[in-house]
């Protein structure tokens, strides 16, 4: 059975071979529909080149534009282990916004560097994005090894350059793989031309990564509302992680008070014993409990409880935010008045160029690294662990002004 999926992003400087590598991954894993393959072969032949894998991506892109493919953002390939979905690529206008606001959830990344060119401007910016998303499952691939005669020395040089740079961002890639996307060396099959390399191929490296499996995480049940139904105090909300079962002992956070699940109630359903991720249910913990909207029912004490949050935010609102202006922090059902007490840096989200350091304001469409000061404690988790508890919205005068990821 192959039911699992890993969401992947592929990043790297323009022309370092992203499209070619994606094409090669689709081809080598036999994930291309046969008619598509014929089409590519025909074009390549006409142009008198080797099968040009970048065409795969271009023709998928064409389809996207014409609205032909059913799913417009996803490309996938599969191994015996699981499916991989390439969810997005930087350079798309909405990339950063999608990542921050949660339409896309990357679980792993493949960062591609040209063996001849080495680290370039976008390599660095994309590296920064990986850090911003808190991604820890990263494969660096040094591509176009065919152009440097499969030289071990050159590989080492580029490897040191990129791992040095990533290290300065506190990112440690799990693997660095030499390969040639165009020739297919070390993508899905180990290459004889790289006898000095004994590590995994790019695909083998990806196959070692873990999936997010939000349903297997400890329960997070943000309290949305409290109702009195037939004399019982019912706590209503949506399961954001894990499962809730009758009879279980839970904590009410941030108080850390222990409570017991007496029953789970669902509209028009009898004897519900269990509820999983995405389900909205009522929970009866007993009467007379002092609980409120915005508190979190939790299976463990693994959450972070804090009133100061370091985060990357994407300021969507028109106009200028002045440091210290009042805002409202919203994370699941938590709503807490706050201000931004420090702005470390602001970035242009398209180019990711630093606009200003240690500044006092954020302008429309800028990304900023900030420290948020909350009026009372919030319950949060690492974004990579439990996404819904690791991202938030900031409201200004009742309107959503920014989205953010907790660092």
**Residues that bind ligand GDP in the complex, under the rule CB under 6 A:** 12, 14-20, 54, 143-144, 146-147, 180-182
Nearer to ligand GDP, 45 or 216 (CB): 45
Give me the residue label for tokens 């200028």. Answer: 320
CB 287 within 8 A of CB 232: yes
Nearer to ligand GDP, 129 or 219 (CB): 129
Q: In angstroms, what is the minimal distance from the CB of 181 to ligand GDP?
A: 4
Q: In angstroms, what is the minimal distance from the CB of 122 to ligand GDP?
A: 9
Nearer to ligand GDP, 191 or 346 (CB): 191
Nearer to ligand GDP, 2 or 351 (CB): 351
Determine the Cα angle at 359 with ends 358 and 362, to 5°.
Answer: 130
Q: In angstroms, what is the minimal distance from the CB of 37 to ligand GDP?
A: 18
Nearer to ligand GDP, 123 or 295 (CB): 123
Q: In angstroms, what is the minimal distance from the CB of 88 to ligand GDP?
A: 14
Q: In angstroms, what is the minimal distance from the CB of 202 to ligand GDP?
A: 12
CB 263 within 8 A of CB 286: no
Q: In angstroms, what is the minimal distance from the CB of 75 to ligand GDP?
A: 13
For 133-240, where are the alpha helices, taking DSSP H only?
Answer: 152-168, 202-207
Q: Give the separation between CA 403 and CA 132, rounded to whole angstroms.
A: 13
Nearer to ligand GDP, 54 or 264 (CB): 54
Q: Give the separation between CA 312 and CA 76, rounded to whole angstroms.
A: 29
Closest CA to 222 of 308, 302, 331: 331
Q: Give the separation between CA 189 and CA 28, rounded to whole angstroms.
A: 9
Buried (b) or exposed (e) across 11-24, using 16+ Cβ within 10 A?
A: bbbeebbbbbbbbb
Q: In angstroms, what is the minimal distance from the CB of 353 to ligand GDP?
A: 20
Q: What is the dihedral of CA 292, 298, 303, 307, to 10 degrees?
A: 0
Give me the residue label for tokens 């660092």. Answer: 407
Neighbours of 290 (CB within 10 A): 8
Neighbours of 268 (CB within 10 A): 4
Nearer to ligand GDP, 136 or 143 (CB): 143
Is the Cα dihedral 389, 390, 396, 401 positive or negative?
negative
Q: Give the separation between CA 186 and CA 93, rounded to whole angstroms.
A: 31
Q: In angstroms, what is the minimal distance from the CB of 284 to ligand GDP?
A: 55
Nearer to ligand GDP, 19 or 137 (CB): 19
Q: In angstroms, what is the minimal distance from the CB of 153 to ligand GDP?
A: 18
The pair of structure tokens assigned to 119 is 């680290």
Nearer to ligand GDP, 12 or 127 (CB): 12
Closest CA to 10 of 113, 117, 79: 113
Q: In angstroms, what is the minimal distance from the CB of 148 to ligand GDP?
A: 10
Nearer to ligand GDP, 15 or 248 (CB): 15
Q: Give the separation between CA 211 and CA 233, rounded to whole angstroms.
A: 37
Nearer to ligand GDP, 9 or 313 (CB): 9
Longest dimension (CA), the chain: 79
Distances (CA, A) of 306 to 139, 207, 343: 33, 36, 19
Indicate the pairing of strand 366-380 with strand 304-315. Answer: antiparallel
């Amino acid at each position: 059975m192959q039911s699992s999926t890993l969401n992947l992003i592929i990043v790297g400087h323009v022309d370092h071979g992203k499209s070619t590598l994606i094409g090669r991954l689709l081809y080598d894993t036999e994930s291309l529909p046969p008619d598509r393959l014929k089409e590519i072969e025909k074009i390549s032949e006409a142009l008198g080149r080797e099968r040009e894998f970048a065409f795969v991506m271009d023709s998928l892109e064409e389809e996207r534009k014409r609205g032909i493919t059913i799913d417009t953002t996803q490309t996938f390939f599969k191994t015996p282990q699981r499916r991989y979905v390439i969810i997005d690529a930087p350079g798309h206008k909405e990339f950063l916004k999608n990542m921050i606001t949660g339409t896309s959830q990357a679980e792993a990344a493949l960062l591609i560097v040209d063996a001849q060119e080495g680290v370039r401007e976008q390599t660095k910016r994309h590296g920064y994005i990986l850090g911003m998303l808190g991604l820890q499952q990263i494969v660096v691939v040094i591509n176009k090894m065919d152009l440097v005669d499969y030289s071990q020395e050159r590989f080492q040089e580029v490897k040191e350059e990129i791992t040095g740079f990533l290290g300065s961002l506190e990112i440690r890639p799990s693997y660095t793989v030499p390969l040639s996307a165009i020739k297919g060396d070390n993508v899905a099959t180990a290459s004889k031309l790289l006898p000095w390399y004994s590590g995994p191929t790019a695909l083998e490296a990806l196959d070692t990564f873990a999936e997010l499996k939000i349903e297997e995480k400890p329960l997070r049940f943000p309290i949305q509302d409290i109702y009195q139904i037939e004399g019982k105090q019912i706590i209503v909300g949506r399961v954001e992680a894990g499962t809730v079962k009758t009879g279980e002992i839970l904590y009410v956070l941030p108080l850390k008070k222990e409570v017991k699940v007496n029953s789970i109630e669902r509209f028009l359903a009898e004897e519900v014993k269990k509820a999983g991720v995405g389900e909205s249910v009522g929970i009866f913990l007993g009467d007379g409990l002092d609980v409120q909207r915005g508190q979190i029912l939790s299976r463990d004490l693994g959450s972070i409880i804090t009133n100061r949050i370091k985060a990357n935010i994407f300021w969507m609102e028109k106009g200028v935010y002045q440091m210290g202006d009042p805002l409202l922090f919203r994370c699941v059902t938590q709503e807490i008045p706050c201000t931004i007490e420090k702005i470390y840096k602001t970035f242009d989200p398209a180019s990711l160029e630093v606009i200003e350091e240690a500044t006092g304001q954020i302008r429309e469409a800028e990304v900023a690294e900030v420290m948020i000061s909350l009026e009372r404690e919030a319950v949060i988790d690492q974004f990579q662990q439990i996404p819904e508890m690791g991202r938030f919205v900031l409201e200004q005068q009742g309107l959503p002004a920014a989205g953010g990821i907790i660092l």
